[in-house]
């Protein structure tokens, strides 16, 4: 049940991408956890039995970096610092923190030397997930080093008597398999928490919350047909009745093939008549088609939605003060938009553009799912009896294909086998090219926007992935690596270039076809379960005749971290051959980067 009165664990948010996942993992263990900012740590402490300090984008030695009141260490309450939190703990207690010799992103092997208390039950060698630039080089007096990695000498440290612990890696992400053991050791053995937090009765509690927030007001909802907006809309309608909730499906022109008929079927099967359909593709395309910049696209899309909402206001007879705007925003969307004071902006979620932020400030937004992660949203959807196919649907971003249709403001040449990249690729018998197409990444809690690296030559999927991992670590300004699947001969990139292009209906139609074909084949070959999400991206990279499709299937649990999906190479090649038959497709790439350092979507 949701208990807002007190928490057993207080998670202090220093702006890390995974901060809320810490709270989520603690809740999964059956213990209520609450998140707060560093400046409110003492006030929010209440009866908490333990404190976890999250990671964050800052360096402890920077002015203005998040700091904690000294009194916090003196309370005798157990503290666990994670990543930035670990560095903060070290520097506050007179240890030494310095920029690392190498930035460490992604997987690392932990060598454990102290297996009691925090690391009880953890093997001598464990795979852990790292994402940091700085590191603790000397622990504070009274602390012992519990574990290290090849490049990080103090990967875990403890002062057991004072119950103070630090971890440079992230125990909260699924890519640290021993993470749940470590968090449970902290929560139960060290903090002695009760296991009394459950999700039973969640739907009723959420409906109650919606009724309390809405009062007598109506709710207007943009429903995209994706899991989040559909579950949020269903929840609001169930809480307030169809008379008080209006759903609007807007065809932005950035939807996937056959999206609207599927949505119509879902809601008419429920007997609901509170959904309207609006074709606004001209409006969106006219505005978004003017920019090549991903953040600008997101801002424009958010603004177009608000423009439509203003029109709908008068059309639906909504008067000032008697309605709210409903949104299907979920936890990661709020975090990655830099929602907390300390977090760096990775991508501005379309639900978090400035105009929406203003509505939030004025209390005019209702977001029933904003505290939940995707798998919890699916669980809520199940409790609402939504069809299984819908609840299990792959996530699709609000801005839709607009952020999967990459643009270039000018025509540019491909950088042919730059030495620093080619050397790393050559170690695996591959070659590397740098395309002048930039994509978004998240590195050490910061947003990056860097040029794409393309590998050519034959390797296993794991082989390509390993080169990607090394490259993104060692070469600055590299956040995404893909290999060329078709055509088979990589020398075609000698003629590769990027053409000036913005978003057009023709390009979107081509992308829609490629997207539909890719998903159909995945389903037909029985591989859908191996993939958490499958963005298909169009980029204006050409060897003279058309454009390039990049395949980005990922395995993930909640989008905060992801791995490139391990699909059979034979399938990837078969799919690429089919895509190459689409008129206008010149090349096919497969993205082999994990998140971090690349985000799931390319923009």
Active site residues: 83, 170, 172
Contact 178, 171 (CB under 8 A): yes
Interface segment toward ligand XMP; rule CB under 6 A; list 76-84, 379-387, 392-400, 427-435: 392-400
Q: How far is the CB of 285 from ligand XMP (least distance, A)?
A: 18
Contact 128, 176 (CB under 8 A): yes
Instruction: Provide the mask over 215-234, with x wherever binding to ligand XMP is found by CB under 6 A and - wherever it is not.
Output: --------------------
Q: How far is the CB of 174 from ligand XMP (least distance, A)?
A: 14
Interface segment toward ligand XMP; rule CB under 6 A; list 86-94, 242-250, 453-461, 595-603: 595-603
Dig out the tokens for 342 from the structure.
Answer: 């300390």
Contact 234, 265 (CB under 8 A): no
Interface segment toward ligand XMP; rule CB under 6 A; list 25-33, 38-46, 231-239, 329-337: 329-337
Q: Give the residue with the Cβ less far from ligand XMP, 27 or 350.
A: 350
- Asked if 65 is part of the footprint of ligand XMP (rule: CB under 6 A), the reply reads no
Placement of tokens 């050409």 in the chain = 542
Q: Give the residue with the Cβ less far from ligand XMP, 245 or 335.
A: 335
- Asked if 600 is part of the footprint of ligand XMP (rule: CB under 6 A), the reply reads yes
Q: Give the residue with the Cβ less far from ligand XMP, 85 or 597.
A: 597
Pairwise CA distance, residues 603 & 600, whole Å: 9
Instruction: Provide the mask over 335-374, with x wherever binding to ligand XMP is found by CB under 6 A and - wherever it is not.
Output: -x----------x-xx------------------------
Instruction: Provide the mask over 524-563, with x wherever binding to ligand XMP is found by CB under 6 A and - wherever it is not.
Output: ---------x-------------------------x----
Which own/partner contact pairs does 390-397 have at CB distance under 8 Å and 24+ positions apart?
Answer: 390/227, 390/230, 390/266, 391/227, 391/231, 393/226, 393/227, 394/531, 394/532, 394/533, 394/534, 395/226, 395/227, 395/228, 395/533, 395/559, 396/224, 396/225, 396/226, 396/256, 397/350, 397/601
Contact 589, 532 (CB under 8 A): no
Q: How far is the CB of 560 from ligand XMP (least distance, A)?
A: 8
Count of residues touching ligand XMP (by CB under 6 A): 17
Placement of tokens 């794991």 in the chain = 462
3-state secondary structure at position 247? strand
- Asked if 400 is part of the footprint of ligand XMP (rule: CB under 6 A), the reply reads no
- Asked if 397 is part of the footprint of ligand XMP (rule: CB under 6 A), the reply reads yes
Q: Give the residue with the Cβ less far from ligand XMP, 146 or 356.
A: 356
Burial 285-307 (b: 16+ CB within 10 A, else e): bebbbebbebbebbbbbbbbbbe
User: According to CB under 6 A, which residues from 243 to 302 bind ligand XMP?
Assistant: 298
Where does 421-574 show beta strands of DSSP type E? 431-443, 446-456, 481-486, 497-498, 536-539, 541-542, 547-551, 554-556, 562-564
Q: Which stretches of the chain bind ligand XMP, using CB under 6 A?
A: 298, 332-333, 336, 347, 349-350, 395, 397-399, 533, 559, 595, 599-601
């Amino acid at each position: 049940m949701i208990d807002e009165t007190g928490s057993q664990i207080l998670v202090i948010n220093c702006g890390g991408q995974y901060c809320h996942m810490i709270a989520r993992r603690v809740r999964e263990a059956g213990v209520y956890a609450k998140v707060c900012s560093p400046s409110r740590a003492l006030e929010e402490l209440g009866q908490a039995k333990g404190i976890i300090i999250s990671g964050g984008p800052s360096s402890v030695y920077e002015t203005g970096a998040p700091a904690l009141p000294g009194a916090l260490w003196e309370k005798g309450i157990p503290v666990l610092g994670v990543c930035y939190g670990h560095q903060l703990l070290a520097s506050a207690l007179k240890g030494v923190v310095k920029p690392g010799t190498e930035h460490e992103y992604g997987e690392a092997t932990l060598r454990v030397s102290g297996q009691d208390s925090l690391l009880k039950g953890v093997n001598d060698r464990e795979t852990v997930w790292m994402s940091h630039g700085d590191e603790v080089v000397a622990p504070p007096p009274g602390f012992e080093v519990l574990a290290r990695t090849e490049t990080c000498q103090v990967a875990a440290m403890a002062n057991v008597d004072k119950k103070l612990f630090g971890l440079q890696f992230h125990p909260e992400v699924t890519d640290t398999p021993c993470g749940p053991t470590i968090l449970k050791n902290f929560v139960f053995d060290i903090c002695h928490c009760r296991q009394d937090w459950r999700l039973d009765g969640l739907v009723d509690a959420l409906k109650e919350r919606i009724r309390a927030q809405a009062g007598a007001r109506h709710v207007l909802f943009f429903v995209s047909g994706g899991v989040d907006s559909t579950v949020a809309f269903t929840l609001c309608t169930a809480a307030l009745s169809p008379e008080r909730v209006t759903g609007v499906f807007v065809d932005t022109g950035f939807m996937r093939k056959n999206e609207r008929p599927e949505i119509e079927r879902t809601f008419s099967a429920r007997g609901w008549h509170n959904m309207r359909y609006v074709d606004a593709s001209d409006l969106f395309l006219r505005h978004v088609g003017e920019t090549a910049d991903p953040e600008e696209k997101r801002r424009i899309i958010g603004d177009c939605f608000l423009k439509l909402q203003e029109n709908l206001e008068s059309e639906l007879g909504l008067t000032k003060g008697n309605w709210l705007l409903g949104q299907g925003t979920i936890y990661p969307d709020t975090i990655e938009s830099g929602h907390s004071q300390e977090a760096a902006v990775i991508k501005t979620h379309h639900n978090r553009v400035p105009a929406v932020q203003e509505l939030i400030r004025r209390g005019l937004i209702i977001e029933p799912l904003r505290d939940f992660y995707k798998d919890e949203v699916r669980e809520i959807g199940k409790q609402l009896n939504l069809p299984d196919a819908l609840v299990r649907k792959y996530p699709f971003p609000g801005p839709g294909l607009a952020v999967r249709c990459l643009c270039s403001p000018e025509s540019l040449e491909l950088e042919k086998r730059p030495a620093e990249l080619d050397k790393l690729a050559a170690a695996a018998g591959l070659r590397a090219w740098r395309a002048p197409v930039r994509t978004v990444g998240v590195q050490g809690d910061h947003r990056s926007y860097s040029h794409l690296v393309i590998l050519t030559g034959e390797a296993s999927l794991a082989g390509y992935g390993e080169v990607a991992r090394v490259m993104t670590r060692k070469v600055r300004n590299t956040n995404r690596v893909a290999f060329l699947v078709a055509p088979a001969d990589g020398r075609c990139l000698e003629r590769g270039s990027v053409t000036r292009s913005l978003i057009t209906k023709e390009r979107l139609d081509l992308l829609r076809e490629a997207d539909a074909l890719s998903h159909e084949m995945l389903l037909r070959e029985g591989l859908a379960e191996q993939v958490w999400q499958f963005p298909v991206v169009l980029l204006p990279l050409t060897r003279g005749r058309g454009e390039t499709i990049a395949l980005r299937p990922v395995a993930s649990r909640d989008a905060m971290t992801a791995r490139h999906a391990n699909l059979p190479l034979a399938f990837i090649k078969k799919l690429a051959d089919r895509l190459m038959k689409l008129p206008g497709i010149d090349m096919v790439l497969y993205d082999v980067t994990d998140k971090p350092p690349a985000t799931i979507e390319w923009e």
